[in-house]
Chain A
């Protein structure tokens, strides 16, 4: 008789670690672990996409656990953990606590880990219905009704936004960690980056909706540079004025349903965007109720 395989190598690393003669050199470097929950792998891929810096990074930190890149597994504790993905299964809840317990500094990377990702759309939906849409045997699925950010479950030392994260910001976070300082990451809006780049304002010039005024900088104002409005993949900036933006979107002639969808994408679960979409949805419901009121004999 055997048991089901233990899927997540938190406590039982499966591969043989190849420390040997490197042990001494490795021990002087902080150990880095990269973990994944529900996500697309894009944020950890950002680390491998640092082609010019990768070998230097590997010299500065000891990559101790990073299954996408190496079979080698070095046991914790880890001085730095990078966590990608959101919490969507009962097992995830257990695993993130184990990871927190063996991590010195825990940094969440990307929209899934910091806001629940696009899969947080389930937070507004009937997950049983989703199950039956996608799977012939939904009873086999073990999944939560919600997709939540890592910080909803454990203390997080730093959150790096983006869908995906920006690799320059990722390197800045690593550099800050290695030097024992705070990462220098912009908290202003995409509009600032857009102005610095000299872009023409997309909504003003073309009437396209743009979430730039409420979205945290970090991408380099990518979408406006390509002639489209920002779609908010870095999530809300601090104290985002979504009320004002919603008014602008209404003035641009956007129907309520479209406004709700604009806020509900990759950072749908971020409180500011969730609240903004809810406000529009509630407003729309009220309006349509009022519209129908005469036929229904009046609504209090």
Chain B
């Protein structure tokens, strides 16, 4: 919808952003061909998770916080279990970590496939939805559904359920899958590697607008692996790095009247979490095959064009399939599903790489394991400022397009982030008055 302002300005409003997770809109104000105001409007109602986690016990966050998001529940489960294990001073076994990584691969595959093909690709190919796309590109859509299903099948086996897995607990799992069960998935996962690598070539052929920003990329880093279910430190492109436990000292959330959501600052500045950040900070940790696919797709070791996030996501999709197969190769039966854990008073942080960016949880518990304080910081909240900066740049860059096309471009700029607005812990219902 467009409004002409009395002073000759023009306002572009999208009430409901489509093909994002959760509910949000955008507002762009243009005057004399200059973009003067940009807002990502989030009206997802607050659900107060941090409020009602207080008074629950330390074993409950994996089940409860999974409900923050149906698309990335494992990210919440992983960050919360890690935080509690850090507080209680226990280290799980390498096998438990391996199985967590495998479950996380399932979530990456499911979520990335959903975003790449069902939410994002229709923008580049000029369709309103994947269902419309299916008429012209039936083979691509069938491949997409196959890839997504492989991720869901993996989550169902390891997690018990694809949405809100039931098999995750503080200390490990309730039950380990067997070699035989995992082997059943192997053919689809191996085919997934090939499909995903083909998909990298496919999406690399899309028409990408020229737009680059000098983002501060922030992600986890692990000495041995591309970061997924955990990392040992946070790294940023500005050279800052510190252990996960120190995240709350560097990332500050703040609440501003002119915005609909809590924003976050990294050492006082705007920053960017997500596939582009992970990729640019950890290119060296990708497998040789994925590195090669990325280079063949025209990427360098750092990618600063947010529209090309679809290529990076697809490289990560291939990587997640490779990792899943690698872990199944390593798996042997007979490992204990969990380690015993007992509460002890303290404060701790856990972080993981949700498909759409770094997520971290901080809890304080008392000696009985009762949660005294909880802080949950999802990726989309951290990316608010970057999304708005991109929106401003995109709107200015395409200010001469007609409203329909400009709206499309701006929506795409938002969808580049795969924003998960349902991760609504921090989002507000606030109408902004403008003039």
- Chain A residues in contact with chain B, CB under 8 A? 1-2, 4-9, 12, 14-16, 18, 36-46, 48-49, 51-52, 54-55, 58, 63, 67-72, 88-89, 91-92, 117-119, 121-122, 125, 127, 129-131, 133-137, 140-143, 163-164, 219, 222-223, 225-228, 231, 233, 258, 261, 265-266
- The residue from B5, B152, B425 contacting A1, defined by CB atoms under 8 A apart: B5
B residues 1-47 near A (Cβ < 8 Å) are 1, 3, 5-6, 11, 13-23, 25-27, 41, 43-47
Interface residue B430 (Cβ < 8 Å from any Cβ of A) = yes
Interface residue B149 (Cβ < 8 Å from any Cβ of A) = yes
Task: Check if B132 sits within 8 Å of A140, measured CB to CB.
Answer: no
Contacts A37-B45, A54-B131, A54-B145 known; list 7 others, CB within 8 Å: A42-B70, A68-B19, A69-B130, A71-B18, A129-B51, A131-B51, A226-B167
Task: Check if B70 sits within 8 Å of A122, measured CB to CB.
Answer: no
Task: Check if A164 sits within 8 Å of B429, measured CB to CB.
Answer: no
Smallest Cβ-Cβ distance to B13: which chain A residue: A5
Classify the interface of chain A: helix, strand, loop or mixed: loop
Q: Which residues of A contact B289 (CB under 8 A)?
A: none
Task: Check if A143 sits within 8 Å of B15, measured CB to CB.
Answer: no
Task: Check if B160 sits within 8 Å of A225, measured CB to CB.
Answer: yes
Distance A117 CA – B11 CA, assembled complex (angstroms): 37
Cβ-Cβ contact count across A and B, 8 Å cutoff = 241
CB distance from B192 to the nearest CB of A (A): 13
Q: Assuming A55-B131, A67-B17, A71-B128, is B51 touching A133 (CB within 8 A)?
A: yes
11 contacts between A and B (CB under 8 A): A1-B435, A5-B25, A12-B15, A38-B44, A42-B163, A49-B148, A51-B148, A67-B20, A69-B130, A129-B51, A131-B48
Q: Assuming A43-B70, A69-B118, is B51 touching A7 (CB within 8 A)?
A: no
Task: Check if B175 sits within 8 Å of A227, measured CB to CB.
Answer: yes
CB distance from A277 to the nearest CB of B (A): 13
B223-244, CB under 8 A of A: which get 1 and which 0?
Answer: 0000000000000000000000
Q: Which residues of A contact B69 (CB under 8 A)?
A: 40-42
- The residue from A45, A91, A222 contacting B70, defined by CB atoms under 8 A apart: A45
- The residue from B5, B14, B145, B426 contacting A51, defined by CB atoms under 8 A apart: B145
- Chain B residues in contact with chain A, CB under 8 A? 1, 3, 5-6, 11, 13-23, 25-27, 41, 43-52, 54, 56-57, 60, 63-64, 67-71, 73, 110, 114, 118, 122, 128-132, 134, 141, 145-146, 148-149, 152, 160-164, 166-167, 169, 174-175, 254-255, 257, 262, 337, 404, 411, 422, 424-426, 428-435
Task: Check if A68 sits within 8 Å of B45, measured CB to CB.
Answer: no
Task: Check if B429 sits within 8 Å of A89, measured CB to CB.
Answer: yes
Smallest Cβ-Cβ distance to B111: which chain A residue: A45
Q: Which residues of B contact A6 (CB under 8 A)?
A: 1, 13, 15
B15, B152, B160, B164: most-surrounded residue (chain A CB, <10 A)? B15
Task: Check if A68 sits within 8 Å of B21, measured CB to CB.
Answer: yes
Distance A72 CA – B337 CA, assembled complex (angstroms): 46
Task: Check if A4 sits within 8 Å of B174, measured CB to CB.
Answer: no
Task: Check if B254 sits within 8 Å of A46, measured CB to CB.
Answer: no
Distance A68 CA – B71 CA, assembled complex (angstroms): 12
Task: Check if A18 sits within 8 Å of B128, measured CB to CB.
Answer: yes
Smallest Cβ-Cβ distance to A54: which chain B residue: B145
CB distance from A248 to the nearest CB of B (A): 20
Distance A118 CA – B65 CA, assembled complex (angstroms): 10
CB distance from B161 to the nearest CB of A (A): 6
